[in-house]
Copies of this chain bind each other. A is one copy, B any other.
Amino acid sequence: MRESSKRIIEDLASKVNQRLSELLIVKHPERFYEAVRWLPLAGGKRLRPIIALTVGKMLGGNEEDIMPFALALELTHNFTLVHDDIIDEDEFRRGVKTVHVAFDIPTAIIAGDTLFAMAYREFSKLNVSEDALREILRDFSDMIIELAEGEYEDVEFEKRNDVTTEEYIEMIRKKTARMMQTACYGAALIVTGSTESAKKLGNYGLYVGLAFQIQDDILGLIGDSKITGKPVGSDIRKGKKTILIIHALNNSDANTAKRLLEILNKPEKTDKDVKEATEIIKRAGSIEYAKDLALKYANDALKALEGTPENEYKYLLEDLAYYVVERIK
């Protein structure tokens, strides 16, 4: 990644962090607001607001004009994580206990709802035309509905043995890529007021998001658990139907595929099970397949940037498309 890109990312992340800590103050009832701010102030890459701010600045926009939208993205991302962690029964995130573990499930449900409402509250600060504001509200709300569909399908796929590649791609489009698409689309709409140019930049976000999630699946299998913070083979342990699993099932002989499903469907997997499943996936060439697919999406993302202004913000977006597929955490 270019030095200028690193510098901009650091600068924008720090501004987003500053604004989040101003928004997420503790007031009465104190324990409730401690729960609301728990996850958003525990860290995070701030990838979505950074992408939105960078797209806006690339197009000549003013940082302050885009900031409420960028904060809405990060608040919404955190709201979905708080609820997803209850659903997936995850106990740790960003190195701290998840909200429902540190507090309790009822508090985590309404803390998530509060982050959600705080996100929409940011839209009341947007200085755009009524048409643009309506379109941003429509797109953002559709995004959250698709996120919910994607989360539902992700859980449902764990119980199914016949998930297709197409179903998987559609699920990660909704669960991960859609929010990055909205980040770019909304930021461009705020700056240009044109839905047409915004749609093109939305595609950048969409493809970066797809590449990001596939790399996430790769790291979930062969990532260094000391670096990723996730247990070795965590997706296998959960029985997640990732692109690697789906590819391996379709590219192994019948007996090997049957054995892989057998392991995935065990209620409790031993370290030996995880190792055996990982070997099957590697032998099927699924890691290379997933890497190629992630790279293809990264290239699609770059293509969506064609014709946009040449400046250091554009270079950052280019760097980011490759960063998401090269990252090790």
Contact = CB atoms under 8 A, between A and B. Distances in A.
Interface string A78-120: 0010010011000000000000000001110111111011101
Q: Chain A: interface residue count, which band?
A: 35 or more
A130 interface: yes
B152 A107 contact: yes
A138 B120 CA distance: 8
A87 B113 contact: no
Contact of A113 (B129, B138, B140, B148): B148
A11 interface: no
Contact of A130 (B133, B152, B153): B133
A141 interface: yes
A144 interface: yes
Most buried by B among A130, A138, A140, A155: A130
23 contacts: A29-B149, A32-B152, A80-B113, A83-B110, A86-B109, A87-B110, A110-B151, A111-B148, A112-B113, A113-B113, A113-B116, A117-B144, A118-B141, A118-B145, A120-B137, A121-B145, A123-B134, A124-B134, A124-B141, A129-B130, A130-B130, A133-B133, A133-B134
